């Protein structure tokens, strides 16, 4: 009898606990996620500044090109490094002489200073890392005071340098560049070239000349109207023309004609369309060089938006081969 009473009490307690659990389950209401989604995307809620709490706000305004909605991520800028860190070349354009080096200006800076310091009959006088100029000591040239000036600039490619060398003479209280017929520049540049070649790859860099790495002579821009890519060069027309010609040859294009006065290169290019493509075949392409100012030029093609992909390919290959 006692065991029967205990069993009855146990069953009664179990039944009460089960009923409480059922009541709790009935109080839980399952809500479809779309209801919250509708609330979150409601226009009035999103425009309410109190809806989003920005603990780390960014100052300034965000500008959208042409006030249009950006539907896709824009193409990244094209950056091409020098072909090799050990690449060294001599360049000559009129009265200008320079050495191309496959290293950043901050790395070329200490090498140039070391060259002058170790040159017994010359020596280092002064330098200015802000302008990138390094002067040799003054020496006597045909009873006239003279000196060499090295100017280090960033090259047309990433991680490259251009070291311009000129010889000056003192006239009254100022310095003037000596013409190639009178100077002894060629001998010095050849010695400098041999020195850089024998130095081999270097990992040293100058902290005081790091600012020289920041300047940029080459920039690929996009035309706001046509959407075609163009190359902006921060050099004069003579250099831009010579650099473009060399770039076209390095890229493997065949130049069938050129007109420097018009700023045009005519390339042989064969592109045949399929039977379903109504666009005309392409047998040649023009590359244009436009002088924007005395120190800035623009390179583009004569192709229209229907040949956007072809124009992009040509511009990319030119940009990659510029030096």
pTM above 0.75, yes or no: no
- The burial class, CB within 10 Å (0-12 / 13-18 / 19+), for 254 is exposed
**Tokens matching residue 119:** 């040159």
pLDDT tens digits for range 258-306: 999 999 999 888 766 666 666 666 768 899 999 999 999 999 999 888 8
Q: What is the pLDDT of residues 21-62, one digit of tens each?
A: 445 444 445 445 455 555 555 555 455 555 555 566 666 555
From 223, 203, 192, 224, select the one nearest 290 (Cα to Cα). 223
Which letter does DSSP use for residue 79 in this model?
-
Q: Which residues of 199-232 are buried (b: 16+ CB within 10 A; e: fewer)?
A: eeeeeebbeebeebbeeebbebeeeeeeebbbbb
Q: Which residue ranges form the domains of the chain, and what is each CATH number?
A: 88-213 (3.30.310.220), 218-321 (3.30.310.170)
Q: Give the model's confidence band at 310: pLDDT under 50 very low, under 70 low, under 90 confident, else very high.
A: confident
* 217-269 confidence digits (pLDDT tens): 999 999 988 899 999 999 999 999 999 999 999 998 999 999 999 999 998 88
Please choose, from the candidates 317, 101, 256, the residue with its C-alpha nearest in 3D space to the C-alpha of residue 193. 101
């Amino acid at each position: 009898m006692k065991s029967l009473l205990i069993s009855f009490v146990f069953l009664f307690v179990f039944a009460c606990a089960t009923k409480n659990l059922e009541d709790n389950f009935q109080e839980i209401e399952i809500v479809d996620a779309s209801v919250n989604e509708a609330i979150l995307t409601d226009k009035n809620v999103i425009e309410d500044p109190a809806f989003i709490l920005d603990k780390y706000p960014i100052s300034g305004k965000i500008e959208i090109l042409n006030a249009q909605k950006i539907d896709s991520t824009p193409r990244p800028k094209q950056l091409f490094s020098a072909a090799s860190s050990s690449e060294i070349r001599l360049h000559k354009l009129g009265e200008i002489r320079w050495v191309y080096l496959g290293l950043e200006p901050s790395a070329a800076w200490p090498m140039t200073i070391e060259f002058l310091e170790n040159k017994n009959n010359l020596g280092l006088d002064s330098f200015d890392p802000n302008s990138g100029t390094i002067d040799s000591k003054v020496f006597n040239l045909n009873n006239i005071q003279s000196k060499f000036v090295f100017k280090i600039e960033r090259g047309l490619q990433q991680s490259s340098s251009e070291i311009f060398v000129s010889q000056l003479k003192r006239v009254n209280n100022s310095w003037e560049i000596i013409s190639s017929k009178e100077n002894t520049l060629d001998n010095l540049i050849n010695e400098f070239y041999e020195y850089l070649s024998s130095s081999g790859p270097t990992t040293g860099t100058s902290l005081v000349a790091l600012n020289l790495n920041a300047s940029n002579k080459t920039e690929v821009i996009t035309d706001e109207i046509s959407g075609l890519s163009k190359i902006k060069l921060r050099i004069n027309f003579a250099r831009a023309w010579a650099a473009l010609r060399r770039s076209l040859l390095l890229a493997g294009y065949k130049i069938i004609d050129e007109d420097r006065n018009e700023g045009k290169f005519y390339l042989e290019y064969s592109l045949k369309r399929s039977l379903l493509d109504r666009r005309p075949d392409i047998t040649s392409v023009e590359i244009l060089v436009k002088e924007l100012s005395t120190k800035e030029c623009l390179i583009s093609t004569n192709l229209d938006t229907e040949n956007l992909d072809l124009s992009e390919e040509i511009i990319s290959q030119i940009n990659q081969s510029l030096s």
